[in-house]
Homo-oligomer: A and B are copies of this chain.
Amino acid sequence: MPSDTLREQLLDFHAGYSRCIATDDLEGWPELFSADCVYRVTTAENEREGLAAGLIYASSRAMLRDRISALRHANIYERQRYRHITGTPYVLDSDADCAHCETPFLVLRIVQDDATSLYASGIYKDVFVRDGRRLLLRSRVVVCDSRRIDTLMAIPL
């Protein structure tokens, strides 16, 4: 691989993130975050009104691992699959160590014997840090467009 620009690294990151979830490699998902990180899921409405609480909140990679572990054991989710499609990253700010970016996404839910549906859309508000040649998420706030989002949300967005 030749020397990458930030944009190329961002595209790679998003492609890898989506693939991690699509292939059910959920144990790989927390490893895309830095050890000390924030992962928060909220709605555009809550975000506009300054309600930081959100639907899901985790403040470390260890919490994300616990979340996946619980998900595997509880096995609460039905036989369904998710397909993430991400748009083009918009870089707000970047320096040698850190990048602030926003990327729109949509997620389809595929349930066997049923029609595929739009599950969620919104924007990732991300802070990336460098880990050698890779990027890691220092913070991901998932702002869902609709407030009609399944609060169970077993699967990572």
Contact = CB atoms under 8 A, between A and B. Distances in A.
A108 B106 contact: yes
A112 B145 CA distance: 9
Interface in A21-80: 22, 44-45
Nearest to A101: B15
Contacts of A16: 90
A86 B122 CA distance: 14
Which residue, A14, A90, A114, A117, has most C-beta atoms of chain B within 10 A?
A90
B19 A108 contact: no
Contacts of A83: 104, 106, 121-122, 145
A135 to B, nearest CB: 14
Contacts of A115: 118, 146, 148
Interface residues of A, number: 45
Contacts of A155: none
A86 B44 CA distance: 21
Contact of A5 (B2, B81, B84, B88): B2
A148 B15 contact: no
Contacts of A5: 2, 8
A123 interface: yes
A69 B152 CA distance: 41
Contacts of A113: 147-148
B145 A44 contact: no
7 contacts: A5-B8, A11-B88, A19-B90, A19-B104, A84-B87, A112-B146, A116-B148
